[in-house]
């Protein structure tokens, strides 16, 4: 079995590719992106394979220019339109017509869009014979044949078309006021490499550049070497942590508004950059410009690191799916080989994510991935209680290797800030409460006189 690229960004990492020959059904309801999917698949391989696109359309639809509708469609794709009304009236003749078009083109990859109108008026027994004939013809073509079909997820189990296909991918979407969240589910896969993906649902998007599927991030790491410490940029905090954050660890800075959580993150980022460790900063409420201005106010010039490709920001300018956001972080980390990551605002995530979001699963996936990349991470999260050393949502806090809690205390002269290290796995960390202040040069920690 020869595997060829699916032609869809991210899908090869899930399926391993499409076998040649094979027939793959791209199913879904109207408007979900089936045509975009097959056109992107064959366009992406058109430089190396001969490709044929067979749209089954009305004469009125045929008058339009596909290149205008699908800007990423490769110019070398041979287009052979089939009249839909004629095909529905005489599907056997249409099938012969399609077979002759494929034979004359010698195409390595064929897309028939859609297949479901053909033979739809037949009895169930006749449909089996008709689709079985199409399937036999497709395998004789020695090509990867993609067919689209207007089917719901529940109809796939009873559809004659899906029964004969080697692989079945189902596309769907959830619509909100501001965003469309697109999902891909794998019902059947023709190769062993894709079997593990059968129970999973993946998100994908469609942009002017084509279709991109977002696989689950790789994760896991060997047992960390606790002797390797990454400095936080706050000398007193490093002393409390026996030299800094253990490499690959995730540390959470939790506190109420105004306790300096973002400044902790910026100080850690600046220290890493000064030690030649590339950094990715993930933010939600504050733009990269705002964060760099805040850093400059404290004496840390981050602009030069951006220009030298040492620093990248991930800042969603519009709503995205949680899976797509994870891949934005992945792309940033791998593009510069980041050794440190600052994630500013766990509690702000849901403001920019579309669809339902499982924060715990998201953070778990991200932490596992960063450990896999040997990156050390600092997260910030907001807690409501201003005057106690609170722990943020237990669903995410237990995932962290270390937690530093920030709080206020009332003094005669006003409010003072206190810091306590609640945990740092494998470290005999300082367990005393310390006072700290936000100065013109960052965080300064001192002894607390009760």
What is the model's pLDDT at position 390?
A: 58
Q: Which of 320, 196, 344 is nearest to 267 (CA)?
A: 344
Q: Band the pLDDT of 38: cuts 50, 70, 90.
A: very high
What is the model's pLDDT at position 63?
A: 45
Mean pLDDT of the chain: 87
Q: Band the pLDDT of 91: cuts 50, 70, 90.
A: confident
pLDDT of 450 > 80? The answer is no
What is the model's pLDDT at position 119?
A: 66
ω into residue 176 within 30 of 0, thus cis? no
- 58 against 441, higher pLDDT: 441
| DSSP secondary structure, 11-51, as one string | THHHH--EEESEEEEEEESTTSSHHHHHHHHHHHTTTTS-E
User: Model-level pTM?
Assistant: 0.85
pLDDT tens-digit profile of 181-222?
899 999 988 776 666 666 678 999 988 888 999 998 888 766
Q: Which of 219-233, 340-354, 362-376 tops mean pLDDT?
A: 362-376
Q: Which of 34, 241, 251 is nearest to 147 (CA)?
A: 34
Q: Which CATH superfamily is domain 229-447 in?
A: P-loop containing nucleotide triphosphate hydrolases (3.40.50.300)
What is the model's pLDDT at position 395?
A: 62
Q: Band the pLDDT of 385: cuts 50, 70, 90.
A: low
pLDDT above 90: percentage of residues in the chain: 51
What is the model's pLDDT at position 222?
A: 63
pLDDT tens-digit profile of 425-440?
989 999 999 999 999 9
pLDDT of 329 > 70? The answer is yes
Q: Give the H/E segment covering residue 437.
A: strand 434-439
Instruction: Enter the CATH code of domain 2-214.
Output: 3.40.50.300
> Do the first three CATH levels of 2-214 and 229-447 match, i.e. the same topology?
yes
pLDDT of 383 > 70? The answer is yes
Taking the C-alpha atoms of 161, 163, 166 and 170 in order, what is their torsion angle to the nearest 10 degrees? 70
Task: Kindly list the domain boundaries of the chain, sorted by start residue.
Answer: 2-214, 229-447
């Amino acid at each position: 079995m020869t595997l060829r690229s699916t032609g869809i960004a991210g899908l090869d990492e899930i399926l391993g590719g499409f076998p040649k020959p094979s027939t793959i059904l791209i199913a879904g309801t109207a408007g979900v992106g089936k045509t975009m999917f097959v056109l992107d698949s064959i366009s992406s391989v058109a430089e190396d394979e001969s490709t044929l696109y067979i749209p089954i359309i009305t004469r009125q639809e045929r008058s339009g220019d596909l290149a205008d509708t699908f800007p990423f469609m490769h110019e070398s794709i041979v287009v052979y339109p089939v009249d839909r009304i004629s095909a529905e009236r005489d599907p056997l003749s249409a099938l012969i017509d399609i077979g002759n078009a494929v034979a004359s083109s010698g195409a390595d990859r064929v897309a028939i869009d859609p297949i479901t109108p053909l033979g739809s008026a037949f009895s169930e027994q006749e449909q089996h014979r008709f689709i079985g004939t199409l399937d036999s013809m497709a395998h004789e073509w020695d090509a990867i044949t993609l067919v689209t079909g207007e089917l719901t997820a529940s109809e796939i189990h009873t559809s004659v078309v899906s029964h004969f296909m080697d692989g079945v991918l189902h596309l769907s979407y959830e619509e909100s006021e501001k965003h469309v969240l697109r999902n891909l589910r794998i019902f059947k896969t023709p190769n062993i490499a894709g079997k593990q993906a059968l129970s999973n649902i993946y998100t994908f998007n469609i942009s002017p550049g084509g279709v991109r599927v977002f696989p689950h991030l790789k994760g896991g790491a060997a047992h960390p070497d606790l002797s390797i410490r990454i400095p936080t940029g706050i000398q007193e905090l490093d002393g409390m942590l026996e030299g800094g954050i253990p490499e690959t660890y995730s540390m959470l800075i939790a506190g109420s508004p105004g306790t300096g959580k973002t400044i902790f993150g910026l100080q850690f980022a600046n220290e890493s950059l000064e030690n030649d460790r590339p950094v990715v900063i993930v933010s939600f409420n504050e733009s990269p410009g705002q964060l760099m201005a805040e850093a400059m106010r404290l004496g840390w010039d981050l602009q030069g690191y951006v220009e030298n490709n040492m620093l990248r920001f991930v800042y969603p300018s519009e709503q995205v799916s949680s899976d797509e956001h994870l891949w934005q972080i992945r792309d940033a980390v791998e593009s510069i080989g980041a050794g440190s990551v600052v994630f500013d605002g766990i509690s702000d995530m849901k403001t920019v994510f579309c669809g339902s979001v499982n924060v715990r699963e998201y953070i778990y996936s991200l932490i596992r991935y960063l450990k896999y990349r040997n990156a050390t991470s600092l997260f910030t999260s907001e807690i409501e209680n201003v005057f106690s050393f609170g722990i943020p949502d237990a669903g995410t806090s237990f995932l962290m290797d270390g937690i530093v809690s920030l709080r206020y205390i009332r003094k005669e002269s006003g409010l003072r800030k206190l810091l306590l290290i609640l945990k740092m796995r494998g470290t005999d960390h300082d367990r005393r409460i310390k006072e700290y202040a936000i100065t013109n040069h960052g965080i300064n920690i001192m002894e607390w006189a009760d």
